[in-house]
Structures are given as structure tokens and as C-alpha cells.
Amino acid sequence: MRTIPVTRSGRADVGYRAKITTLLSHTSVRTLILGVDPAGRVIQHDRIAQEILDPPGGALLGAHVSDLVVGNSPTGTPLTSLLEAVKAGREATAVLTFRAQRSNPIDTVVTLQPMRSDNDACPAALAILRMPPPSVEQFLDPALMRHALLDETFRQMGATLDLDQMARGLINIVVPHFSNSAGLLLLESLVAADEPPAPQDNGSHLLRRMAVATDNNDPEWDATFPTGEVLRYPPGTPYTECMETGKPIRERTMTSAEAMDLAESWLRRPMAKLLSGTSMLILPLNARGTTLGFIVCNRRKGFRSFDAYDTEIGMEFANRASIFIDNARRYNRERATALTLQRSLLPTGLSAPPSVEVGHRYLPGSQLIEVGGDWYESISLPGARVSLVVGDVAGHGVRAAVTMGRLRTAIQTLSTLELPPAESLQQLHELMLKIGEREPHFATCAYATYDAVNGTCEVASAGHLPPLLVRPDGSSEFLDVSPAPPLGVGEGLISSRTFEIEDGSLFVLYTDGLVESRGRDIDDGLKRLQSVFDADSAPGDMEDLCKSVLAGAYADQHRDDIAVLIARLARIDGSQQASWSLPGELTAAHEARALVVEPLEKWDLTSMVDTTQLLVSELVTNAITHAEGQVTLRLIKERALVCEVLDTSSAMPKLQQAASSDERGRGLQIVSKLSSRWGARRVPAGKIVWCEIPVPRAESPE
């Protein structure tokens, strides 16, 4: 048979089901059984039904069900719908209000089950009445309350570490087994995992209401005491007294005047109506010498008031609940701390020249930790260059993540020194050897520097898988980079190779977790990665490319960490740069000042002419003074204007403090003052000294 609730669909159905659930949640709910004929008259009943129900004239046999129910008639609903369902051979359930002998009418869940029999004396249907106890009998049996609050509750709560879920679960036990309504409040600093706020002069605490429940689903309770509200209770109220003393507070019966005074002190007049005539018990949640919050319980007028025995049961429940809440608090705080530290290790703010587009993905190997030993970096360098790095620290978990954080910090520092990839990896190798003195560790790393002016890419690798280069026509190859041992292992020399890159090519760096797993050989993984890219990939969307590369990785529960960095490489527009060869004579500074005017006017940067002329004059003069032969001057317009001077000397310039009597030594001081930043790097032909000048916002390129 099929059970159908006699209700309307939509919101009404949801509310009706909630009402049935609430009525059946009482631990002391009673079950009455009636046998009814096709007309709805009682022809059989059990002994309990005769003692509880209040039929007209006192005779239950022969009484129509409508005579037992308040506000119904044989032609009314939902009783009529129940009887019609039985005639159709269907089981049906509804909520009816039955008259009781020793109490007010009681809402009861009624289920009518059709019966089939050839005997006319047998009932046509069996009516099962599940009736909660009347108000005068509710909260009377201490054994039932203790069983509901202490025996079953914490078996259900044991696996929960979410504070919101735990609060709702605890309150749904308190109501309806211990009180008609209840709310659970915790210190806001506990919920937010912050440092505790400074206490107020009046001793009040900042609290958050975690959960509210009532046994009659009265919406006024939710409106007056909204869940999630952050508040301070007025001083002198029972709530602040409970927080200050850490002891339970009991109000046997709150008069209308007391309720109004409490409501006015709280500036919530509707509160007076809800609390008038109620009995209130506030149970502190104490753990490790601290009051974490409290549970406030209310029993309406007509129900037994709280007494000392209720306080004892309630405190036993609150003490156990405090242990669970404190464990959840400590777990949430430690988890928040761990996640904050882990996320701080992940790369943020990747940068690249305007002509280079970068996409990236990171996928941890474990659901228990958000970051492991894999990482990636894209660091924009002066002169339209970019460093692209991917690495993998051996191991998993926090230890590998901490080492990864050290390496990332070192890479950020090395990028400011503008070392070639091989030298940068050599410095990282020395760092890993130093770390290994305390705890053995090693890592693999691929390091590439792409020059968007000449379209070359210098690549070095320390024990890492080869980068994948995908050309614009869809052809691809794994770049043959000179092998070297992993960082922190051995004493092998790290070298690099330089490749010519076609504009629009894709440069793919990755870690071994992408191409190797327990069920797949690394060669098969490399072939699968190569097959992801075709002729349509080069101009494709970077996000779509990253998703395609990781396709299938999410389903592998035994995978390693995965880091992927995809860069679409292209040279900057030739019209955005200009270069000149200048003689190694002091007159070259004058020539340099004249040469920079034309490109600046073409780039609509006329407001920068004077500053640029002064800077290139100082850079060229410095190069001619300390080097021999020709010098090369180059201007590059990116997000900033870059001025570069190449000379044949390998000696690096140093910023010196010139005395007031010195006639020389102020050139680099002028460069440092007028530019946003400056630096120098060695190149095979000598060195390049450069400076950047901010482009006015109205004149900066898109």
C-alpha cells in the first residue's frame, strides 16, 4: 500500500510534513488504535483510547470519528479526505486535533490503513493515532528526559565537527524533549576563530545565536530571536549573569511585568509576549575553565515549570555538549590556521609581459590538505621578459609544503637579481643542500626565461620532466633540455639551452602527478598530454586548455599533487620598441638625448621626454665611462617605459653615496630618484643596465 499525506503541494506540504515530524519526535508519544467502519464510526478500540479520548456521552463505541475531533464534521476536511482515501484502498495520513479527557485538545498524527475482509463485523479501516502527551503530563518523567538528552544524543553528535550543524542537532534534542523552545548561543570569537574581543566595562560578551527551535513552529520566535544574530545582552539580565558566573540560572515563572522589563532593556517589545508566563532555564556551556556560551530553555504557560531536578539533568546535558563544542572549536581553529598557512604558500598575482598570456592549475593530491610540494610561478622581468617556473618537492603534506614555500621565496628573490635560469637553479640547489643538513629533502624544478623582444626562451632543468612546446600549427615536441640531478642531490652541473619560439606557441610546464600514476606508465601519460593539443589549441581559451589538460585527474583517488603552467608566448609589437648603436665616445650622450624624442612622440609620451632624456644620458655616460667600445640603447614600451643600455663590461654598477665635494658618482643616484626601479644583469656580450619610468595612466597601453 502507498501512504499519501492529505495536504496540498508546495509550501503547505513542507509545513505540514514539519508539523508531523515535530509531533512524532516526542519520546513519550502514545499510540492509540481504533477500528472504524466504512462510514467512519468506531467499532473497535484499545484500552488506552477509552482512557484518553473524550467522546460525546462517554461511549467510544459507535461514535463517529468527527465527534472525537475538534473543528471537523463528516463532510469536512481533512477527515473526509482520509475516509475517501480508505474507500479507494489507499493508506493516508493527516493531522487532526482530538478532544482529550484531562487536557486541552491534542494535535495527533492519524494514519488510516484500509482492511480487506468478507466479515461485516471486521473494521473497514484501522486508525492509528500517534498522540504526544498533554501539556500537563509533558516533561514529567525524568527517565524519559534523561534518556532523550543523554543516551542517544551524543552518539549522533560524535562524528560532527561543524559548529552550525552541531548547534542545530543539540537544540533539536532539547526541543521537544526538555523544553518548548530553546536557543544556543556561543561567543562570537569562538565561532569566527578570532582572538577574543576586549571585554566591556559592564561585563557583557559578544555572542552569536547559533540555533533556535520551538515545538509549535511559531514564526514569532524566529523573528524575535533570529539565527545568526550577533549581539550583546544588556547588563543585569539573567543571560549576562550566566556568562559571568558560569552557573545555571532558573526563572520558575516570569510575570508579565518581568517579561516587559526584560524586553524593554533589550529594546525588543515582541519578546515580552513570548516570555510572559514562561519558565526559563539558562544552562552555561563550560569547558577548560571558560564559559563558551549557553543554552536558554523555555517552557510555556500550562507546562511544568523548571525545578532543581530539571537543572541537574540540563547541566549534565550542557556539560557533555560543552566537550563536543570545545572539540569542534579547537578543530575549526586549527583547521582555519592550517588553511591560512597553506593558502599563503600558493602562488598569487602571477605576472607576465602584455604579449604573454598565462594559465595555471593546482590540484592537491589529498583532500585533507589544500597544498603540497608542487608549485608554479610566472614572474615578469624588466625588458619584456618573464620567468616561468614549475617545481615539485619530494613528499606530501605540510612538510613538503613548507619546503615548497622556502623555494618559492628564494625564486622570488633570485628573480630580482636577474640571474639566468641555470644560475638560479644552482642557487636553489645550494639552498636545498643547506636545508638537507637538518632534514634530507630534494626537489625537481624546470626554469625558463622568455624574452618577448627577440622571441627566445632559455630553459634549464634540475631533474624535472621536459617542457612541452606546442607550435601554432598544432605540432608539438618535448624540449630536449640538458639533464641535471634534482635540487639537493649530488653535485652535477646545471646548464641551459636557448630555443627560438614562434609567436603564438604554447609553452607547457607540469609536474609528474599529471602524467604518472599507479595505473599508468609515465610514457603513456606524456603521450596523453601531447594528444590534448592540436591546431585549435594555440589560439584557444587558456581556461579551457587547463581544464582539458586536467581531464580525468579528478577521478584518480591515488594521484600525486599536480601543478600545470601554460604560457602562450609571443613577441611584443616591433613598433613598441626602438634601439640604436652609439659610439664609445662622450658625445654619445648628446646623441642619445636626441634619438629618444621621435619614438616617445610616436608613442604619445611627449610628457616623458625630459625625464627620459636625462635618464638615458646618465646611463649612456656611465656605460662609456666604465666600458670600451660601442654601447646599445634600447627603449621598450610595456606597462612602463624601459630604458636599457648594453655595454661590453661585465662589472656591475653600484649605487654610491657621493660626497658634496665629489664631481662624479651621482649618475646612478639620479637614475634611482627619477625611475620607479633600476637594475643590471649580465649577458654574454657584457651587461645591461636598465631603468623603468612609469607611464602616465592616460597614456598607458590597454
Q: Residue 254 pLDDT more than 50?
A: yes
Amino acid at 540: G
615 pLDDT higher than 90: yes
Q: 497: helix, coil or strand? A: strand
Give the least confident one: 33-37, 104-108, 141-145: 141-145
Q: Greater confidence, 107 or 426?
A: 426
pLDDT of residue 483: 80
Name the residue type at position 180: N
CA of residue 297 relative to chain centroid, distance: 33
For 230-239, how does the pLDDT look when each residue is reduced to its tens digit (9 = 90+)? 988 888 888 9
Q: Which three cell numbers stand for residue 666?
A: 651621482
All structural domains of the chain: 3-131 (3.30.450.20), 142-336 (3.30.450.40), 349-569 (3.60.40.10), 575-699 (3.30.565.10)
pLDDT tops 60 at residue 257: yes
Q: Which residue has the cell 621578459?
A: 385
Q: How confident is the model at residue 209 (pLDDT cuts 50, 70, 90)?
A: very high
Lowest mean pLDDT among 136-150, 176-190, 517-531, 662-676: 136-150
**Residue 139 gets which letter from DSSP?**
T
Name every residue whose Cβ is closer than 8 Å to that of residue 180 and which is 6 or more positions away in sequence: 214, 215, 216, 298, 299, 300, 303
What was the pLDDT predicted at 201? 58
562 pLDDT higher than 90 = no
Q: What pLDDT shows up at residue 553?
A: 67
CA distances from 386 to 81, 248, 566, 577 (A): 76, 65, 13, 17
- Residue pair 272/263 in contact by the 8 Å Cβ criterion: yes
Q: What is the CA radius of gyration of the chain?
A: 40
Q: What is the mean pLDDT of residues 16-41?
A: 69
Give the span between the Cα atoms of 651 and 649, in whole angstroms: 6
C-alpha grid cell for residue 683? 649577458
| Mean pLDDT value of segment 135-159 | 71
Alpha helices of 88-162 — where are they, by DSSP H?
A: 142-146, 153-157
Is residue 461 a contact partner of residue 511, using CB atoms and an 8 Å limit? no
- Assign residue 363 a region (left: φ > 0; alpha: ψ between -120 and 50; beta: otherwise): beta
Residue 3 pLDDT: 38
Instruction: Give, rounded to a whole angstrom, the gap between the first and last alpha carbons of the chain.
Output: 70
Distance, in Å, from the CA atom of 460 to the CA atom of 492, rounded to the nearest integer, reads 13
Strand ranges, E, within 262-384: 279-287, 290-299, 357-363, 374-381
β-bridge pairing 42-45 and 357-363: unpaired
* Displacement of CA 694 from its chain's centroid (Å): 37
Mark residue 552 as left, alpha or beta (left: phi above 0; alpha: psi -120 to 50; beta: remaining): left
Dmax (CA) for the chain in angstroms is 127
Residue that the C-alpha cell 467499532 belongs to: 43
What pLDDT, on the 0 to 100 scale, is given for residue 22? 54
Q: Give CA–CA dist 160/172, Å, rounded.
A: 15
In whole angstroms, give the CA distance from residue 590 to residue 577: 20
Q: Cell 475517501 sits at which residue?
A: 84
CA 286 to chain centre: 29
2 — pLDDT class (breaks 50, 70, 90): very low
Task: Find the mean pLDDT for residues 654-677.
Answer: 76
Task: Give the pLDDT confidence score for residue 182 in this predicted structure.
Answer: 94
**415 has pLDDT over 50:** yes
Confidence of residue 4 (pLDDT cuts 50, 70, 90): very low
Q: How buried is residue 186: exposed, middle or buried, by Cβ count under 10 Å (0-12/13-18/19+)?
A: buried
- Alpha carbon dihedral 65, 49, 86, 93, in 10-degree steps, equals 100
Q: Per-residue pLDDT averaged across 85-112, rounded?
A: 84
Q: What's the CA gap between 82 and 93, in Å, rounded?
A: 7
For 46-188, where are the E strands, in sequence order?
91-98, 106-114, 125-131, 181-187
Edge to edge, the sheet with strand 374-381 lists 374-381, 385-393, 443-451, 456-462, 496-500
- Lowest-pLDDT range of 40-49, 333-342, 446-455, 567-576: 333-342
Mean pLDDT over 435-450 rounds to 87
pLDDT digits (tens, 9 = 90+) for 486-503: 998 877 789 999 999 999
Distance CA(88)–CA(360), nearest Å, equals 64
Average of per-residue pLDDT across 546-561? 73
Strand-pair partners of 294: 185, 284
Q: With a cut of 90, say whether residue 258 has pLDDT above it.
A: no
For position 296, what pLDDT does the model report?
95
Among residues 269, 270, 272, 276, the alpha carbon closest in space to that of 300 is found at: 276
What is the mean predicted confidence (pLDDT) over 352-361?
92
pLDDT tier at 662, thresholds 50, 70, 90: low
Amino acid 94: pLDDT: 86
DSSP 526-576: HHHHHHT--TTTTTS-HHHHHHHHTTTTTT-TTPPPEEEEEEEE-PPPGGG
pLDDT of 270 over the 50 cut: yes
For every residue of 441-485, DSSP letters joined together read --EEEEEEEEETTTTEEEEEEESPPPPEEE-TTS-EEE--PPP-P
Grid coordinates standing for 610?
625630459
Tell me which of 256 and 342 has the higher pLDDT.
Answer: 256
Average pLDDT value for residue range 663-679: 83
Predicted confidence (pLDDT) at residue 142 exceeds the cutoff of 50: yes
Specify the higher pLDDT residue, 10 or 18.
Answer: 18
Could you tell me which residues come within 8 angstroms of residue 132 by beta carbon, excluding any fewer than 6 positions away?
23, 26, 28, 29, 30, 106, 107, 108, 138, 176
pLDDT of the residue at 199: 55
How far does CA 497 lie from the centroid of its chain? 42
3 state DSSP class of 114: strand
Q: Which of 104-118, 232-246, 469-483, 567-581 has the least mean pLDDT?
A: 104-118
Concatenating the DSSP letter of every residue in 348-377 gives: -S----TT-EEEEEEE-S-TT-S--SEEEE
- C-alpha 56/C-alpha 65 separation (Å) is 11
DSSP state of 57: G
pLDDT band at 10 (very low <50, low <70, confident <90, very high): very low
Distance (Å) of CA 30 to CA 92, 300, 422:
19, 21, 81
CB distance 514 to 474 below 8 Å: no
Confidence of residue 117 (pLDDT cuts 50, 70, 90): low
Mean pLDDT over the full length of the chain: 83
461 closest CA partner among 396, 405, 509: 509
Which pLDDT does position 12 carry in this prediction? 44
Average pLDDT over residues 388-405: 84
Least confident of 11-15, 17-21, 69-73, 577-581: 11-15
Neighbours of 656 (CB within 10 A): 13
